[in-house]
Amino acid sequence: MKRLIILITVFLIFAVTGVLHSTKMGLYQVVEVFICEQEVVLAEMIAKTSISRQELTTVSYCTCDGVDPSMKVYVKKNKCEPPKDMVYACICIGKTHY
C-alpha cells in the first residue's frame, strides 16, 4: 500500500511538472532567416540583431549553418557583396512578448 502511494505521488509530480513545462514551451517561437556574411559568428550576430524587435520581441538564441550560394535569393536582411558573400541559414528561438 505504501509503495502504491509513493508511485502515485511520483507519477503526479511528473505529470504536473510536464504540464507546466509544456505550457512554457508554447511561449517560444522559431524564425528562419538567410544572412550573407564572412563568418558564421558574424552571421549569428547579424541574425540575432535583425530579428530582434521585428519578428521576435526577444531573441534567446541563433544558430547558423552555411548553405549553397544559390540560396542568395532568399537573403532579405543584408546584401551579398564581397567579402560578405557567404550564405548562412540561421534559426533563431525567442519570444513574441516580454
Residue 13 counted as domain residue:
no
Q: What average pLDDT score do residues 55-69 get?
A: 91
Q: What average pLDDT score do residues 35-49 get?
A: 94
Provide the pLDDT for residue 74: 92
Q: What percent of the chain has pLDDT over 70?
A: 80
Q: Give residue 3's pLDDT band: very low, low, confident or very high (50, 70, 90).
A: confident
Whole-number Å distance between alpha carbons of 38 and 87: 9
Q: What average pLDDT score do residues 17-44 get?
A: 79
Residue 54 counted as domain residue:
yes
Residue 12 counted as domain residue:
no
Count the domains in the chain.
Answer: 1
Domain span at 62: 28-95
Residue 36 counted as domain residue:
yes
Greater pLDDT, 98 or 11: 98
Q: What average pLDDT score do residues 6-24 get?
A: 60
CA-CA-CA-CA dihedral for 60, 64, 70, 76, to nearest 10: 30
Residue 52 counted as domain residue:
yes
Q: Give residue 72's pLDDT band: very low, low, confident or very high (50, 70, 90).
A: very high
This prediction's pTM: 0.71
Residue 71 counted as domain residue:
yes
Residue 7 counted as domain residue:
no
Q: What average pLDDT score do residues 68-91 get?
A: 92
Give helix then strand counts, H and E, for the chain. Answer: 2, 3
